[in-house]
Homo-oligomer: A and B are copies of this chain.
Amino acid sequence: MAVNLQIPEKSSVFPVAGIEIGIAEAGIRKANRKDLTVFRLAPGTAVAGVFTQNRFRAAPVQVCEANLASGSEIRALVVNTGNANAGTGAPGLKATHDTCEALAKLLGLSAHQILPFSTGVILEPLPVDRLVAGLPAAIGNLAPDNWFDAAYGIMTTDTLPKISSRRVDINGHTVTITGISKGAGMIKPNMATMLGYLATDAGIAPALLKEVASDLANQSFNRITVDGDTSTNDSFIVMATGQCGLSVDSREHPAYAALYQALAEAALELAQKIVRDAEGATKFMTIQVEGAGNTDEALKVAYAVAHSPLVKTAFYASDPNLGRILAAIGYAGIADLDVGGVNLWLGDVLVASNGQRHPDYIEADGQRIMKDAEIKVRIALGRGNATETVYTCDFSHDYVSINADYRS
């Protein structure tokens, strides 16, 4: 029951010149399921990544970081579902290295040129033999127009695929940006977890792409929350093939702003789609905090509201329960917060001013806003100029049902 999650027509998902994708059934956890995806990148493609901050980093995350740091040109990605290869120790690391070795041999590359990703059940050994046995079929399937199918191929307990694709004209060049993501909570019932792949046929210099990937993540995948849990496998990869003729090597380049903007819109769309498909979600909530003293303050308040089970259940019930939002602001951790300066809006309705219920506020107005499937909460702290926005969903009976289901 995803909230306003649009799936584009297959014909409107544009291939990205320089990238081919192949999908196969390797039977990693269950038979007859597309559970193996390979991306092959043309020479000259710049690649950067952002990974989970969880200390229990899965084996593929560790290998991704090492291979990116090695300075080798990344030429392929391999993604399996069904098993996250997390909490698996030295045997897990070996399984990931074996995967990279096998794919490298098949593609005529070195293992350091591969980025591996795993998502699925954690604390169980990766069936690396089945994975490796599936690689030839994935390679046989390699084609530029497989993004749509790959969005399905990387799903675990997602109910819908997440795809973003656009073409924009920048400085006389037609630039294509296409991406896919998966994840339906920060951690699924034993499923781990969020993956995002974003590609463009514009060129971006490797050092700049690293910064761009970090900036993009901070305004998209790092601004969504479902249940406050962050997984062991979260990964976000940006690829720039440079095949459309436009190449950007610094923030001062005349095309940089437009290119970044287009990438940012795609990343945000992919991130928001994860929230829209979150476990049990019935409402999509935007929490905007403004007037904070700094970014950290703004995020503390936004996440306190976004994580509060009491706020989230109130939204599920379409109950404009102001007290719960104000209480969350109050305990967000700003020690010297003057609550007399706090204003709160639901949609366009000013519900609290100066830390109290606004005199003109009537519950019917709050109720009207709360009935929408898309709700904006705007909080003004009156302390400074920092603004941050996070995206989350409500907390429903289905969330409990889904997460209380025994692992199947």
Instruction: Name A's B-contacting residues (CB within 8 A).
Output: 53-57, 86-89, 121-123, 185, 187, 189-190, 192, 227-232, 307-310, 313-314, 316-317, 319, 321-324, 326-331, 334, 337, 339, 352, 354-357, 395-397, 399-401, 403-407
Measured CA separation A230–B316 after assembly (Å): 20
* A232–B327 touching, CB < 8 Å: yes
Measured CA separation A206–B227 after assembly (Å): 44
* B400–A331 touching, CB < 8 Å: no
Measured CA separation A401–B352 after assembly (Å): 26
Task: Please list 17 pairs of residues, one from A and one from B, whose beta carbons are closer than 8 Å in the complex, sorted by A's number.
Answer: A54-B330, A55-B330, A56-B326, A56-B329, A87-B322, A87-B356, A187-B327, A190-B321, A190-B324, A229-B309, A230-B327, A230-B331, A313-B403, A313-B404, A316-B404, A317-B403, A397-B401
Instruction: Tell me how far the C-beta of A394 lies from the nearest C-beta in chain B, rounded to whole angstroms.
Output: 9
Instruction: Tell me how far the C-beta of A349 lies from the nearest C-beta in chain B, rounded to whole angstroms.
Output: 15
Copies of this polypeptide in the complex = 2
* B54–A405 touching, CB < 8 Å: no
With A229-B310, A309-B229, A397-B400: A324-B187 Cβ-Cβ less than 8 Å? yes
* A331–B55 touching, CB < 8 Å: yes
Measured CA separation A29–B401 after assembly (Å): 35
Q: Which residue of B lies closest to A185 (CB)?
A: B310
Question: Hey, which chain B residues are within 8 Å of A321, CB to CB?
Answer: 189-190, 407
With A189-B321, A323-B86, A356-B87: A339-B123 Cβ-Cβ less than 8 Å? no
* B309–A356 touching, CB < 8 Å: no
Which interface residue of A88, A229, A319 has the most chain B CB atoms within 10 A?
A229
Point out the residue from B86, B123, B189, B399 that lies within 8 Å of A400, measured CB to CB. B399
Measured CA separation A321–B404 after assembly (Å): 10
Instruction: Tell me how far the C-beta of A249 lies from the nearest C-beta in chain B, rounded to whole angstroms.
Output: 33
Measured CA separation A32–B328 after assembly (Å): 33
* A54–B190 touching, CB < 8 Å: no
Question: Hey, which chain B residues are within 8 Å of A227, CB to CB?
Answer: 308-310
* A357–B407 touching, CB < 8 Å: no
Question: Hey, which chain B residues are within 8 Å of A313, CB to CB?
Answer: 399-400, 403-404
* A87–B355 touching, CB < 8 Å: yes
Measured CA separation A307–B87 after assembly (Å): 21
Measured CA separation A57–B327 after assembly (Å): 9
Measured CA separation A323–B86 after assembly (Å): 9
Measured CA separation A331–B309 after assembly (Å): 19
With A229-B324, A327-B232: A89-B354 Cβ-Cβ less than 8 Å? yes
Point out the residue from B88, B231, B395 that lies within 8 Å of A327, measured CB to CB. B231
Which interface residue of A53, A230, A310, A319 has the most chain B CB atoms within 10 A?
A310
Measured CA separation A314–B326 after assembly (Å): 30
Question: Hey, which chain B residues are within 8 Å of A403, CB to CB?
Answer: 309-310, 313-314, 317
* A88–B356 touching, CB < 8 Å: yes
Question: Hey, which chain B residues are within 8 Å of A307, CB to CB?
Answer: 228
Measured CA separation A190–B55 after assembly (Å): 37
Q: Which residue of B lies closest to A336 (CB)?
A: B55
Point out the residue from B322, B328, B400 that lies within 8 Å of A229, measured CB to CB. B328
Question: Hey, which chain B residues are within 8 Å of A327, CB to CB?
Answer: 54, 56, 122, 187, 192, 229-232
With A321-B189, A330-B54, A407-B321: A356-B310 Cβ-Cβ less than 8 Å? no
Instruction: Tell me how far the C-beta of A158 lies from the nearest C-beta in chain B, rounded to whole angstroms.
Output: 16
Measured CA separation A322–B189 after assembly (Å): 11
Q: Which residue of B lies closest to A403 (CB)?
A: B313
